[in-house]
Amino acid sequence: MKTDIMAIGAHPDDVELSAGGTLALYKGSSVNTVIVDLTKGELGTRGSAALRLKEAAAASKILGVGFRENLGLKDGFFSGDDNELKKIIEVIRKYRPQIVLCNAVSDRHPDHGRASSIVSRACFLAGLRKINTKYKGLKQDAFRPAVVYHYIQDRIIKPDVVVDISSTMEIRMAAIKAFASQFYDPKSKEPVTPISGKEFLDFQYGRCAEMGRLIGVQYGEGFTVERPVGVKGILEIK
């Protein structure tokens, strides 16, 4: 299977909160997109792993994502050992994405920075043919994504690339709100968390407006790069 964009997150909702608008740009198009969640977010203060899986499925429909998988790594405790790396390598080789979007290089939640490093490493290792992995009993061919971009989450990080999501901002917000157990609900009796208040949803608009302002549009999502971005001509840069 060949995929154009694979977005990977440490937890269900990481992708929606950081790259949802970018994925939504390709809803209904010929561009193939997939989301991979490393964990079920089972250590989250609110909700449950089972509920978050249902919410993730609903969010995927809103974004128009073709496929979504959960690798079932341990929330808070994944370390990138050999077995975990192979799981990520297997899913990369299965979908063969040209572009991988993954967690911020550094963030408030320690899982985010750790996932960023592990996924980047797995993308490289997936291209080494002497690493053996299988899918449905068959040996997988080596494959390395062309480029890895790291989305920006809670902490302020200067972006290297900003995607104009002005046309998909409300789709992005609808996908975020699909995770109803995690975010603002005035009727909820769950414990209060740093992301459960209305101000956090307001922050989403503010952060995307901040990114958009950098490139002269209403809303944007920022990414950092591992290598310089290549273009065919300087006039293509906006």
The CATH number for 36's domain is 3.40.50.10320
Average pLDDT per consecutive 10 residues, the chain (238 residues; last block may be shorter) = 96 98 97 98 96 97 97 97 98 98 97 98 98 95 98 96 98 97 91 94 97 98 96 88
What per-residue confidence (pLDDT) applies to 203? 96
What per-residue confidence (pLDDT) applies to 1? 81
What digits encode the pLDDT tens for the residues 133-189?
999 999 999 999 999 999 999 999 999 999 999 999 999 999 999 999 999 988 889
Q: How many CA atoms lie within 13 A of 52 on its CB side?
A: 24
Structure tokens at 175: 């996908």
Asked if 125 and 136 count as a contact pair (C-beta separation under 8 A), the reply is no
Residues 6 or more apart whose CB falls under 8 angstroms from that of 233 comprise none
> How many domains is the chain partitioned into structurally?
1
Q: What percent of the chain has pLDDT over 90?
A: 95
- Number of CB atoms found within 10 A of residue 186's CB: 5
Q: How far apart are CA 164 and CA 214, in angstroms?
A: 10
Asked if 18 and 221 count as a contact pair (C-beta separation under 8 A), the reply is yes
Across the chain, what does the average pLDDT equal?
A: 96
Asked if 18 and 172 count as a contact pair (C-beta separation under 8 A), the reply is no
Domain containing residue 87: 3-236
**Claim: this prediction has a pTM higher than 0.85:** yes
Distances (CA, A) of 164 to 45, 136, 158, 181: 33, 39, 16, 29
